[in-house]
Structure 1
Amino acid sequence: MGVEVSRLSNGLTVATETLPSMESVALGVWVKSGARNERDDEHGMAHLLEHMAFKGTARRSAFEIASEIENVGGEINAATSVETTSFYARVLSGDVPLAVDLLADILQNSTFEPEELEREQNVILQEIGAAHDTPDDVVFDRFTETAFRHQTLGRSILGTPETVLSFSSAQLHRFMQREYGADRMIVVAAGDVKHDDFVRQVESRLGGFRPHAQGAVSQYAQYVGGDFREDRDLMDAQVILGFEGRAYHVRDFYASQVLSMILGGGMSSRLFQEVREKRGLCYSVYAFHWGFSDTGIFGIHAATGQNNLAELVPVIADELQKAGDRILQEELDRARAQYRAGLIMSAESPSSRASQIARQLLLFGRPIPKEELMERLSALTVERLSDLSGRLFSTRPTLAAVGPVGSLTSYESVVGALPSSTSLPHRLAV
């Protein structure tokens, strides 16, 4: 049947997709506001707000929120990312009205009681401590901080102990009032759902939600790159080498996604075969590409022992050089198959499908049909990917490492081993 979309009078977008053979529904509210929308003195507030959403409303206690959804066998949760916050539930189809009511109650009537706030602040302090004790978490935080230095896009979503403890109930209310408006919100349901019925249920609970968010648009991010090293007495070192990537909207976004698969998207990828299988330089290596609304970042993460660290990054840099010279047709075909399979498999999960629809509506203003995505993938050529490789890997690199990093290649040596922008024969428009 495809995705059906309606817009309420207050500007709230409501979308559904009926999935045959399902007896359950995944639904939620996605808000175009996340950690990136915080002001300097609000670092960690979006994440704290997500935690506090389930700690009581004017109508329900925290226990009542949990028990009402679990009484019908459902589940409810929330998540914070750099640019969005989501509140979602999974229930049997007959219990959708209850789930809509719970989500609407959370968004409109949360009280943020001081006693609950203090308890949840302590929970997040434990979360921050656990992240600090996990080297692969630390290295990703330092990686983004270095790539987008002194910008909200580069800050940890969790915040710091000092900022988290400083927040009051009144500040949470002001943040929600400022950042949450119907014009920045998408309500989506996927599964055993009828569009008209769902729209009526949402309208009855959220049709009166304030039409406009008051918060300013996020400041344009500027990738800067650089070098970060933290020497720790650990068994292994966590290393990330990254470059400026592509935003969701630009021409090379999907090409960048496919390139990350070719380089490090599985056991047949170039980096896995060369770095791990042939040379045994690490026990884990993969590539990733994250897109944001105005920029992106491409990275390679590896974990290795101290004895192999000196050789690791030069070998990775050599593989990046080779990608700029040549991409094989069989590699492109394999990456396309991986991407296509991922799309199809995610469409079989109501939760994944609801999240995908919400993300597309927030970013592009419309759902993107699977056929259109496949057309974009089919248009990719090995020449275009090789050209993209040369341009991506000639940007100023970001190198972040945590662990016994004394033998890690110098930053200047890494820069010298990578493609140079002056040696590129031409540049494709993005």
Structure 2
Amino acid sequence: MQSEMTTLKNGLRIITSSRPQTETVSLGIWVKTGAAYEKQEVNGISHFLEHMAFKGTNKRNALQISEEIEDVGGQSNAYTSREFTAFYCKMLKGDTELAVDVLTDILQNSTFPEDELVKEREVVVQEIKQTIDTPDDIVFDYFQETAFPDQAIGRSILGSKENVRSFTREKLNNYIATNYAAENIIVCAVGNIEHNAFVNMVESRMGGFRSKTNFTPDRQHYEGGFFMESRDIEQVHVALGFKGFRYCSENYYPSILFSTLFGGGMSSRLFQEIREKRGLVYTVYSFTASHTEDGLFGIYAGTGAKDLKNLLPVVVDEIRKVCNDKVTEKELVRAKTQLKASMLMSLESSSATAEVLARQMLIFDRIIPIDEMVERIEKVTLDDIQNTARTIFSSKPTYTLLGAIKDHIEYDDLQKILKC
């Protein structure tokens, strides 16, 4: 993952990783802003802006934006997360400058036509309704909000229907002026690209972009708690969580390895005990969600209403086991191999590599070499895993239930039995 970086006078950072043997280039613009950078009254505006970015600029209408990329066989898309927004393309190598021109145009010159605003508000409202109607999606919004109550990091990425219907051109432009600046933007390209040529393409278009933002995001602080919503559906969706670790924590890699062996695959402890041995679920897994200042460790399961009361004691028993007894060397070796393989396989994709490079620079302010990542994984010991597990499970739990709930363990009782 060799790369080069140039910082423009305004603070914009441009990264390339050359793969001269390929015929394509994956490139994008990553901005360090998202739901965690929104005030409550405009929650959802980062995502709405992502939708509106492709709806027209000073020199291209919505159709022209799509046609210019697709006429040369390219692909374009965008996404919004809690801490990042990205606009990206994959093109044949000869069309790189076209992609740069389109992406920088929509980032700087979107006009947000009123007719498109009206249509897209309702499109996003339908997206919100679809998410609400999808239990194994919305349960994670409830989970995040319960873990981080009354905080931007805990709010939905999509926002509320009321907020979305209130978004105007003025609000979008104000948000861009406040949250989009060169210091928190990375432009990255991976593929058949020459670094200096790419820098020239970007600098000629974004060299004059404003340097700094004047927005300070809310602090992030895990709290935990309980949320339950009854619905007349077949399953109960359970999300059980604890305080995790931020990206820069020394426990970052131990927590990912622990999640892998605890509930990260078919050979994991949770899958084997809860699905294979007891048949209590179809889906069960653990996960980590790191943020800039804090993080989450979570366990998700979908079970029948009659099995809910049996599910939690088994999960708690598995938690106690890892707190009281070290995992085996075999489990740790397998988890390390899985994590390294997953990381290295993903980096075969130019799009995934561009994502990694951009996010690393926005999070760590540097590119982390593959050898260093592998070394940090290899250095994790059995003691590290046990200490990490104990730290995670000693925190106040986040307990979220959604579905046909007939009988469940009360939150206070869960706290008592979870004590390692």
Tell me if TM exceeds 0.5. Answer: yes
Deviations 1:288-314 (A, max 9, x none): 001000000000000111121111011
Name the % identity: 46
Report how far residue 214 of structure 1 moved.
2.0
- Structure 1 match to 2:336: 336
- Structure 2 match to 1:92: 92
**8 Å Cα contact 2:393/2:419 also seen in 1:** yes
**8 Å Cα contact 1:49/1:172 also seen in 2:** yes
- Structure 2 match to 1:147: 147
Report how far residue 207 of structure 1 moved.
1.0
Which amino acid in the other structure matches residue 294 of structure 2? T
**8 Å Cα contact 2:31/2:180 also seen in 1:** yes
Matched, 1:7 2:7: yes
Deviations 1:167-221 (A, max 9, x none): 11011001001100000000000111111111111111111111112222x1211
**8 Å Cα contact 1:390/1:419 also seen in 2:** no
Report how far residue 414 of structure 1 moved.
1.5
- Structure 2 match to 1:257: 256
**8 Å Cα contact 2:221/2:293 also seen in 1:** no
CA separation in 1, counterparts of 2:315 and 2:160? 33
- Structure 2 match to 1:236: 235
- Structure 2 match to 1:129: 129
Report how far residue 418 of structure 1 moved.
1.3
- Structure 2 match to 1:71: 71
Deviations 1:6-37 (A, max 9, x none): 11111100001112532111100000111111
- Structure 1 match to 2:313: 314
CA separation in 2, counterparts of 1:174 and 1:219? 18
After superposition, where does 1:209-220 map in structure 2 within 5 Å?
209-216=209-216, 218-220=217-219
**8 Å Cα contact 1:327/1:383 also seen in 2:** no
CA separation in 1, counterparts of 2:3 and 2:378? 23
Deviations 1:312-355 (A, max 9, x none): 01111110111112211111111100111111111100110000
**8 Å Cα contact 1:314/1:414 also seen in 2:** no
- Structure 1 match to 2:269: 270
Which amino acid in the other structure matches residue 305 of structure 2? Q
Report how far residue 139 of structure 1 moved.
0.7
**8 Å Cα contact 1:244/1:298 also seen in 2:** yes
- Regions of 4+ moved over 2 Å: none
Moved more, 171-180 or 402-411: 402-411
- Structure 2 match to 1:224: 223
- Structure 2 match to 1:428: none
CA separation in 2, counterparts of 1:92 and 1:321? 53
Which amino acid in the other structure matches residue 83 of structure 1? E
- Structure 1 match to 2:21: 21
**8 Å Cα contact 1:318/1:417 also seen in 2:** no
Which amino acid in the other structure matches residue 393 of structure 1? F
CA separation in 1, counterparts of 2:379 and 2:264? 20
Q: TM-score, normalised by structure 1?
A: 0.96
- Structure 1 match to 2:182: 182
- Structure 1 match to 2:392: 392
Matched position secondary structure for 1:153 = helix
Moved more, 195-204 or 238-247: 195-204
Report how far residue 145 of structure 1 moved.
0.7
Matched, 1:58 2:68: no
CA separation in 1, counterparts of 2:365 and 2:387? 30
CA separation in 2, counterparts of 1:244 and 1:110? 39
Which amino acid in the other structure matches residue 146 of structure 1? T
Report how far residue 419 of structure 1 moved.
2.9
Report how far residue 52 of structure 1 moved.
0.3
**8 Å Cα contact 2:146/2:225 also seen in 1:** yes
Q: TM-score, normalised by structure 2?
A: 0.98
Which amino acid in the other structure matches residue 237 of structure 1? V
CA separation in 1, counterparts of 2:159 and 2:219? 21
Moved more, 10-19 or 60-69: 10-19
After superposition, where does 1:308-387 map in structure 2 within 5 Å?
308-325=307-324, 326-387=326-387
CA separation in 2, counterparts of 1:9 and 1:387? 45
Matched position secondary structure for 2:363 = helix
CA separation in 2, counterparts of 1:24 and 1:135? 39
Report how far residue 78 of structure 1 moved.
0.8
**8 Å Cα contact 1:78/1:88 also seen in 2:** yes
Which amino acid in the other structure matches residue 183 of structure 1? E
Report how far residue 56 of structure 1 moved.
0.2
CA separation in 2, counterparts of 1:116 and 1:313? 48
Matched position secondary structure for 2:293 = coil
- Structure 2 match to 1:305: 304
**8 Å Cα contact 2:20/2:193 also seen in 1:** no
CA separation in 1, counterparts of 2:329 and 2:407? 37
Superposed CA RMSD in Å reads 0.9
Matched position secondary structure for 1:242 = strand
Report how far residue 383 of structure 1 moved.
1.0
**8 Å Cα contact 1:231/1:403 also seen in 2:** yes
Mark the runs of 5 or more structure 2 residues left unpaired by the alignment: none
- Structure 2 match to 1:195: 195
Q: Size of the alignment, in residue pairs?
A: 419
Which amino acid in the other structure matches residue 139 of structure 1? V
Matched position secondary structure for 2:281 = coil
CA separation in 1, counterparts of 2:22 and 2:121? 39
Matched position secondary structure for 2:209 = coil
**8 Å Cα contact 1:136/1:238 also seen in 2:** yes
Report how far residue 278 of structure 1 moved.
0.5
Matched position secondary structure for 1:283 = strand
Which amino acid in the other structure matches residue 10 of structure 1? N
CA separation in 1, counterparts of 2:354 and 2:283? 31
CA separation in 1, counterparts of 2:138 and 2:40? 21
CA separation in 1, counterparts of 2:308 and 2:117? 44
CA separation in 1, counterparts of 2:243 and 2:33? 23
